[in-house]
Structure 1
Amino acid sequence: MTQPVPTLKLFGQPAQRGRWFLIPLGMLILLCLGTVYSWSIFRAPLAAELGLSTTASLLPYALALVFYALLMPITGAYLPRLGSRRLTVVGGLVVAAGYLGASMANSGLMLALCYGVIAGMGVGITYGIPMAVVAAWFPDRKGLAVGTTIIGFGLSPLITAPLANALMQATSVRTALQILGIAFGLIIILCAQGMRFPPTDWAQMLPQTHRSTGAAHYPPSLLRSRSFYALWSCYALGTFIGLSSIGISGAVAQEVIGLSPAVAAASVSFFALFNGLSRPLMGWLSDRWPPRYVGMAMFTCVLAASLIMTTATLGDVAPFLVAFALLWFCLGGWLAIAPTLTLRFFKPADYAKNYGVVFTAYGVGALLGTLVSGQVRDRLGSYSALFYLLAALAILGIVLAATFLKPEPQTSTGVE
């Protein structure tokens, strides 16, 4: 006999209402994890203290992104067996260990190991769990729910970077790392207590008007599905473009547009708002629009932004702000589109495992985007040439999305 929804409780409320508390819990976890993007706050003082070169001082951040991406598919595979709460606690402890280890590092190698490998692994272990839990509780609003949850990761630098800087000013960079490591570990462990999946028949327990109307048949194998390779390729292109743009925003502001360092820093905070706010919007649209239209819209924005920047010169502040707001918006958009389409294209019960594999596209895009943007600057002496490459990649993305980014024929919901 089907259990009535009101008898299932979550956070002391009927589950249909209580499930909304999972979103701010997930946002808080991801807010802690997103501090990995604030490495630039710690980099300069640690580099000066340890005598590190620019390349060596960037290694912890690069390794953090790589291990973050590597641990996602591993965690996804073990999540059903180990459970969401237990894995979230483990991830929180690993993140804390990475920050505490970094605070005691006496060499560049130890710093890279602690902040890059250990903290990066902690982020990778924990990152996908809140989204998997939220997606399971919201089969009727999965795009909006997941997109809203990951706002925490996108907006984290806006909150945690000033906090880290204030702690460093009041104490020292090492003490700041210790305080943040302990605080993040405790917050994640506490939030983990609410991270649990719904019963397997939860979707049927929802009122008829709130149930998902998606197809019941999905490709038997992720890696044999054309939709997977289309999504992976578009996601890799989107993250390549987005992360290479994010990495050079401040430098372009100063070198190409001629802004002061203070104004350049303020512009980056402005762009971060677009990166965060695009996530719930594009998650919501990914539930409602045909997938290929969502992908084409994102790459069209990139094309427009890149063309604007190919003609930008000293003093073109407004075009610069518009272009980079679009570029940051698109990166945030893909971080909501990819998990939503993973839920839409493939079996929702396997979401954690499937999205872990899809997320490897982020790691590839992050690594190649960072390397290529640096090589363009080193070889050509300016970032301006990079925007011609981004425009070409945007055109490629439009073609890929228009042609291939759609469900397999047997999974079609009538919206293609």
Structure 2
Amino acid sequence: MAASGNRASILLVGVATLLMFGTIYAWSIFIAPLESEFGWTRSQTSLTFSVAMIALSFGMLSIGWLSRVAPLRACFVASTALVAAGLILCCFIEDLWQLYVFYGVLCGFGSGMGYTVWTTNVLAWYGDRVGFASGVLVMGFGMGAAVLGSLASALIYSPLGWRAAFAVIALAVVAEGLAALWFIRTPPPSVRALEPKRDRIGVSLPASRVVREPSFWLFCVWRSLVMGIGGAVIAEASVMMTGIGSPVALATLAACGLGAANGLGRPIGGILFDVIGQYKTLVLLPLLALAASAAMAVSYWMGAPIVFAGALLAEGLLYGMFAAINTSYMRTTFGQDHLAANTGVSAVVLAPFNLVFPLAAAWVFEATGGYGGFFAAVPLFVAVSLAAGVLCKPANERMAARWAGKGR
């Protein structure tokens, strides 16, 4: 098979694989039935998603080390086993700590491992189109909430219930993982040598050097603030809808639509990255996020479920666009050689934001009976993200000048 055919099939299988692993984003579908059965509070159930996102970050980081001592295929087998085991064990949950360990730690860590295995594998084949490839690839991760979330919702509200939903998704993850295993391949040298046509910084730095660069931390601020907020909305989208009078069916549809938009936003963000370049993308996306945050706040305060559902779609689209830029930025700015480790480090930086923002939203809800105060603060954080994006370009230019002519 020609190299172009190889890389197209690898990309498509990667999308399908991350679709399975993206089930982690369907968490809000499980909140209501679990709270109803066990009497847990909103902050208790919301913490599950925060734990999962933190574990996901460390799972991503682990591949930087594991890939040096084991083949990517072995890493992928381990990631699939962790996710499947976590989902199966969720079928037997009786105590809150089990939910945190099984869904939060096992599923989250395994999903992070699988994510980095596949981004590393695919971008080795698409060095000339990093934005497009990473965006299309992680579309599957974002679409997990829409595709498997819809399946989970149908099972939850059927006589089978939420325990069966966990079991069915686990079986789907295993079946797809077995098929995907054979598409983890090393590209030939001619393909590995491909480079992006614009905004290539021209340095290749390991994580130990990357974390000393201001451009890395500015990018992390740019990404983490908006994605932390988006994570809070994803974690509680369904109950945010019902809190302003939405029927359960519409709330479920909005949560699944949020997941679909999250997935769709990823290839759009990646293509945008390739077409207009990373620096214009770093400014444009926070500007759009400001508009989306205002729309969410106003529609929530007005108690307009239909309008709020539309704002959730915009939020999901932007969350996906922000998510797609991470691997592309790391590949273009700091090179392919250390991509797994550098992507993992940036994911760990995101972890505290994935903890703080969902918990903050839950605390606001428990203190006030609603999420209005949370939405009032969101535009301030988005403005900080915009400022960080503006500063990335001069920081990268200084880095490139400093490393010019030096050994890597």
114-123 or 340-349, which deviates more: 114-123
Partner of 1:4: none
Instruction: Tell me the residue number matched to 1:217.
Output: 203
1:184 maps to a residue whose letter is V
Q: How many equivalent residue pairs? A: 395
Residue 238 (str. 1) matches residue 226 (str. 2) = yes
Distance 1:47 1:383 in 2: 18
Residue 328 of structure 1: how far off its partner (Å): 1.7
Q: CA deviation at 1:282?
A: 0.9
Do the aligned residues in 2 keep the contact of 1:292 with 1:404 (CA within 8 Å)?
yes
CA contact (8 A) 1:22 1:134 kept: yes
**Alpha-carbon distance between aligned partners in 2 of 1:247 and 1:22, rounded to the nearest angstrom:** 31
CA contact (8 A) 2:27 2:235 kept: no
Larger displacement relative to structure 2 (332-341 or 212-221): 212-221
Q: Partners in 1 of 2:363 and 2:30 — Cα distance?
A: 24
Q: Point out where structure 2 has 5 or more consecutive residues left out of the alignment.
A: 402-408
Which residue in 2 is equivalent to 1:271?
A: 258
Pair 1:180-2:169 in alignment: yes
Q: 1:171 corresponds to which letter in structure 2?
A: L
- CA deviation map 1:316-359 (0-9, x unaligned): 45653443332222211111011111111102111111000011
State the match for 1:3 in structure 2.
Answer: none
Distance 1:33 1:182 in 2: 12
**Matches of 1:53 and 1:389 in 2, distance apart?**
23
Distance 1:373 1:78, change over 3 A: same
Q: Shift of residue 223 of structure 1? A: 1.0
CA distance, structure 1, for counterparts of residue 162 and residue 296 of structure 2: 36
Equivalent residue of 1:224, what SS? coil
| Matched-pair contact (CA < 8 Å) for 1:305–1:327 | yes
Q: Deviations over 1:88-145 (max 9, x none)?
A: 0111111111122222334332333222222222112211111111111001111101
> Does the C-alpha gap of structure 1 residues 199 and 81 become closer, same or farther in structure 2, counting only changes over 3 Å?
farther
Match of 1:386 among 371, 374, 378: 374
Structure 1 pair 166–310 and aligned structure 2 pair: CA distance change class (3 A): closer
What residue is the counterpart of 2:346 in the other structure?
358
CA deviations over 1:296-334 (Å, ceiling 9, x no partner): 211111211233344444364565344333222221111
Residue 288 of structure 2: aligned partner: 301
Q: In 1, Cα distance between the equivalents of 2:79 and 2:26?
A: 19
- What is the one-letter code of the residue matched to 1:280? P
Q: Distance between the aligned counterparts of 1:316 and 1:52, measured in 2?
A: 28
Alignment gaps of 5+ in structure 1 = 1-12
Aligned positions of 1:10-409 closer than 5 A: 13-49=1-37, 52-168=40-156, 169=158, 171-204=160-193, 212=197, 214-219=200-205, 221-256=209-244, 258-312=245-299, 313-314=301-302, 316=304, 319-405=307-393, 407-409=396-398
Q: Distance in 1 between matches of 2:68 and 2:374?
A: 42
Bigger shift: residues 169-178 or 230-239: 169-178
| Aligned-pair Cα RMSD in Å | 2.6
Deviation per CA, 1:221-271: give whole Å up to 9, x if none.
101111111111111112122112333433443444x43332233233333
State whether residues 218 and 411 of structure 1, in contact with CA within 8 Å, keep that contact through their aligned partners in structure 2: no
Task: Identify which range, 213-222 or 362-371, moves more after superposition.
Answer: 213-222
Q: Is the 8 A contact 1:238 1:365 kept in 2?
A: no
TM-score (norm 2): 0.87
Cα deviation 1:170-207 (Å, max 9, x = unaligned) = 63433442333233123213212211232455344x6x
**8 Å CA contact retained: 2:73, 2:181:** yes
TM-score (norm 1): 0.86
| Contact 2:16–2:140 (8 Å) recurs in 1 | yes
**Structure with larger Rg:** 1
Alignment identity in percent?
25
Name the CA shift for 1:241/1:82 in 2 (closer, same or farther; >3 Å).
Answer: same
Contact 2:282–2:389 (8 Å) recurs in 1: yes
1:163 to 1:346, Cα distance in 2 relative to 1, 3 A: same
Q: 1:306/1:288 Cα in 2 relative to 1: closer, same or farther (>3 Å)? A: same
CA distance in 1, matches of 2:313, 2:34: 30
Q: Secondary structure at the match of 2:396?
A: coil
Change (3 A) 1:20 1:69: same
SS at match of 2:203: coil
Are 2:150 and 2:256, in contact at CA under 8 Å, matched by a contact in 1? no
Q: What is the identity, as a one-letter code, of the residue corresponding to 2:371?
A: Y
CA contact (8 A) 1:136 1:198 kept: yes
The amino acid of 1:396's aligned partner reads: V
Q: One-letter code of the match for 2:265?
A: S
> In structure 2, the residue corresponding to 1:105 is in which secondary structure?
coil
Q: Give the counterpart letter for 2:175 in structure 1.
A: L
Distance 1:49 1:81 in 2: 44
The separation in 2 between residues aligned to 1:46 and 1:252, in whole angstroms, is: 16
